[in-house]
Amino acid sequence: MRRPGQGEGASPPHSSYGLSVIAPGESLLAVFAHPDDESLAAGGLLAKVAASGARASVVTTTWAEGTHREQELAAALRHLDAGVPHLLGYADARVPESAPGESLVDAPLDEAVRRLVAPIRSERPDVVVTHDAYGGLTGHPDHVHTHRLAMLAVQAAGLGQMYRDLGEPWQPKAVLLATHPRSAVPLVARLFGASRAIYSVPDAAISETVDVGPWLDAKVAAILAHASEAERGAGPGVIQRMSTEDRATLLSTEWYIRWDLPAVGSAA
């Protein structure tokens, strides 16, 4: 697996607000740790892809079916036109009552990869989007582990001799890692009120800078659909209290690191 070359001193592609990795009609699968991560990290991208007529879908690695967070996730995905929730059913590392059984970070690695390979093979996405290696701005352990699972699962899904019982192999052509460049950290800290470490990458590491302003209303509605998170003052709550102008400033741009994967024929 490789990342298209951008040296440490190269300029990020801030001059172009397109998305070179996803062609018209190609599908996107988002893999994030918690209900609300999909909306906060990639809500604009999901809405953009869906608006183009392509399929956008979401896998959430923690929380169980039948919980209030699943219901909120379903509402958020309706705003983004991103299908219905698919939860892997592991417990949130910080909320043990979120699902019966093991937490995501304590689950056997091979079984967790297997659970994620299944929707990759059934959805057959052209591109997968997930957390970056830091786990995004907060570095939450579930975010970090979901990144690791996603990177393993997108490769395993294309290998025909792995998990044969899960259907025909399928290799996405690329992975997008939702991230923030260093230059955006002062803005995030000012508007989001960050009181702890904020994880970011050098600006030169950014492969895709996406203007999601046309889909901002859908993204904000999806974020605010996570009402229990807003009520407890987490990310959706901070955004709920922001002015319309500050929301637009904070949420109208999304940044991604792109990783290309080998063609299906070479991986099967």
83/56 Cα distance (integer angstroms): 7
At residue 262, the pLDDT reads: 79
DSSP class per residue in 211-245: E-GGGHHHHHHHHHT-HHHHHTTSHHHHHHHS-HH
CATH class of 28-267: alpha beta
At residue 21, the pLDDT reads: 84
Per-10-residue mean pLDDT of the chain, 268 residues long, equals 36 45 92 98 97 96 97 98 98 96 97 98 97 96 98 97 97 97 93 81 97 98 97 94 96 97 63
Domain boundaries, the chain: 28-267
At residue 264, the pLDDT reads: 62
208/19 Cα distance (integer angstroms): 6
At residue 23, the pLDDT reads: 87
Q: Where do the DSSP E strands lie in the chain? A: 28-32, 56-62, 86-90, 127-131, 174-179, 208-211, 253-260
Phi, psi dihedral angles at 137 (to 5 degrees)? -60, -40
Instruction: Tell me 196's DSSP state.
Output: S
At residue 7, the pLDDT reads: 35
CA angle 156-110-153, nearest 5°? 30
Residue found by looking up tokens 């909320």 in the block: 95
At residue 263, the pLDDT reads: 75
At residue 47, the pLDDT reads: 97
Regarding pTM above 0.85, the answer is yes
